[in-house]
Amino acid sequence: MFPKSLLSFLTSVRPWLSAFLIASLLAPAMAGAGMTIEIIGGATNKIPVAIAPFVGDAGKEDDPAEVVRTDLQRSGMFELVSTSGLGKPGEAQSIAHAQWRARGADAVVVGQANRLPDGRMDIRFRVYDVVRQIQLAGFSYVVPAALSRTVGHKIADVVHEKLTGISGIFSGRVAYILKRAGRYELQVADTDGDNSVTIASSPEPIISPIWSPNGNKLAYVSFEHKKPVVYVQNLADGKRKAVANFRGSNYSPAWSPDGSQLAVTLSKDQTSAIYLMDADGGDPVRISRGGSLDTEPAFSPDGKWIYFTSDRGGTPQIYRMNTSGGELKRMTFEGSYNVSPAISPDGRYLAYIRREGVGFHVAVQDLETGQNQILTDTLYDESPSFAANGRTILYATLVRGKGVLATVSVDGLIKQRLSLSGDLREPAWGP
């Protein structure tokens, strides 16, 4: 039995429903980006929302309302309600709540996007709960016209958060490697694949891109010198520095939550071990001991712990240590291959890759209860990372031999697949 107002039901039992309503990452790409996104699965109860056309002279390409529609629809959590015949209310007029209610909507988004004489866009919106007949939020933005779509994503984030209680993740950026025509390109793009920028490109592999906590830099591993070397590159000016280029192999960079340090794996002392160093480069200090193969460091969000992969127990498993290398604790016990730890921003979940039979799957452990669950049925999963709201995991996998990116919600219900012409790999969600 559904209550008459799904929306007020949702808002009243929000904490419970938060466990089920999972934010999903990626809206479909516009044709220009060339990225295809398929949605698999969706939330059990979708929220009906109407996005009225925005008043104003934004072109179709830059129409923020269209961006909001596609973001919300493809999140798997919303049902778009038709707005035909109800005009363009704009954001200054009062809303005919009953009319929207009669259409079956629980919420409506109205707005306008006007070009200013200096070429910038003035974009405003309001989102209303048409059952309680109140405004939930309203914002205005003045931005260069090129940022109209970004504003659309920000509006989608606000609407998502107001209606589900969970932050939206549409306006973030993702980094990934695209391999095509014999070259490896490290790209950064919007979460719908649009606005992609190539940060670095090389005929040799680039792997392990990872964002600095403030989003201004990317650390990555490049094989341009025929061995792995860790670089840190500023996104603003493209300047980069080889911060770990010791004898042997240098890889697996991970930023401390305050951005001041990097954990890296170095083989310079005859064994692969984890070291801490200044993010600008400097003498590394070894912190992992006792294993013959320690790698893939990942900081906990509070900066106290470093999770990592080690074969000290005989098979690759995930462990945790403090930043001096003490208080060692093993985290995974099921199966003989558990690697690639990633911690959610709220510290609740550990995502990782588990080998089961012939398949490598994204799995998640609830750090409070210790419960583990395999989330995917794709077979060659790798590189899991969390979205900022801690509910969606982005990873790479192979589908019919081709590298694609995919997302899965922490409960396993909502999945998406993203592909480009070329192999996609090594995704990293921006902060």
Q: Which of residues 246-265 bind other proteins (CB under 8 A)?
A: 246-249, 251-252, 265
Rounded to whole angstroms, the Cα distance separating 38 from 428 reads 19
Single residue of 60, 236, 302, 371 touching other proteins by CB under 8 A: 236
- Comparison of 70 and 164: residue with beta carbon closer to other proteins: 70
| By the rule CB under 8 A, 385 interacts with other proteins | no
Least separation in angstroms between residue 371's CB and other proteins is 22
Q: In a 10 Å sphere around its CB, with 0-12 CB exposed, 13-18 middle and 19+ buried, how is residue 238 labelled? A: exposed
Single residue of 205, 215, 347, 431 touching other proteins by CB under 8 A: 205
Rounded to whole angstroms, the Cα distance separating 106 from 195 reads 32
Least separation in angstroms between residue 248's CB and other proteins is 6
| By the rule CB under 8 A, 423 interacts with other proteins | no
| By the rule CB under 8 A, 135 interacts with other proteins | no
| By the rule CB under 8 A, 270 interacts with other proteins | yes
Rounded to whole angstroms, the Cα distance separating 253 from 329 reads 21
String marking each residue 278-317 x if it binds other proteins according to CB under 8 A: ---xxxx-------xxxxx------------x------x-
Single residue of 11, 24, 233, 392 touching other proteins by CB under 8 A: 233
If DSSP codes are grouped into helix, strand and coil, which group holds residue 71?
A: helix
Single residue of 5, 271, 322, 373 touching other proteins by CB under 8 A: 271
Rounded to whole angstroms, the Cα distance separating 422 from 66 reads 27
Rounded to whole angstroms, the Cα distance separating 86 from 358 reads 54
Least separation in angstroms between residue 39's CB and other proteins is 26
Stretch touching other proteins by CB under 8 A, among 21-29, 158-166, 232-240, 410-418: 232-240
- Comparison of 57 and 204: residue with beta carbon closer to other proteins: 204
Main-chain phi, psi angles of 68, to 5 degrees: -60, -45
Single residue of 93, 135, 140, 202 touching other proteins by CB under 8 A: 202
Single residue of 238, 302, 368, 371 touching other proteins by CB under 8 A: 238
| By the rule CB under 8 A, 120 interacts with other proteins | no
| By the rule CB under 8 A, 240 interacts with other proteins | yes
Q: In a 10 Å sphere around its CB, with 0-12 CB exposed, 13-18 middle and 19+ buried, how is residue 25 labelled? A: buried
Stretch touching other proteins by CB under 8 A, among 89-97, 106-114, 117-125, 238-246: 238-246
- Comparison of 93 and 214: residue with beta carbon closer to other proteins: 214
In 3D space, the residue among 379, 401, 382 whose CA is nearest the CA of residue 393 turns out to be: 382
In 3D space, the residue among 364, 409, 406 whose CA is nearest the CA of residue 381 turns out to be: 406
| By the rule CB under 8 A, 376 interacts with other proteins | no
| By the rule CB under 8 A, 207 interacts with other proteins | yes
Cα dihedral 354, 355, 361, 366 in deg (nearest 10)? -20
| By the rule CB under 8 A, 397 interacts with other proteins | no
| By the rule CB under 8 A, 11 interacts with other proteins | no
Q: In a 10 Å sphere around its CB, with 0-12 CB exposed, 13-18 middle and 19+ buried, how is residue 205 labelled? A: middle
Residue numbers 329-348 binding other proteins by CB under 8 A? 337, 339-340
Chain mean position to CA 69: 19
Return the CA Rg of the chain. 23
Least separation in angstroms between residue 150's CB and other proteins is 7
- Residue at token pair 């990317």: 218
Chain mean position to CA 13: 26
| By the rule CB under 8 A, 245 interacts with other proteins | yes
* Ramachandran bin of 355, using left for φ above 0, alpha for ψ from -120 to 50, beta for the remaining angles: beta
DSSP per-residue letters across 388-401:
TTSSEEEEEEEETT
Least separation in angstroms between residue 190's CB and other proteins is 9
Stretch touching other proteins by CB under 8 A, among 5-13, 46-54, 161-169, 222-230: 222-230
Applying CB under 8 A, the site for other proteins has a residue count of 74
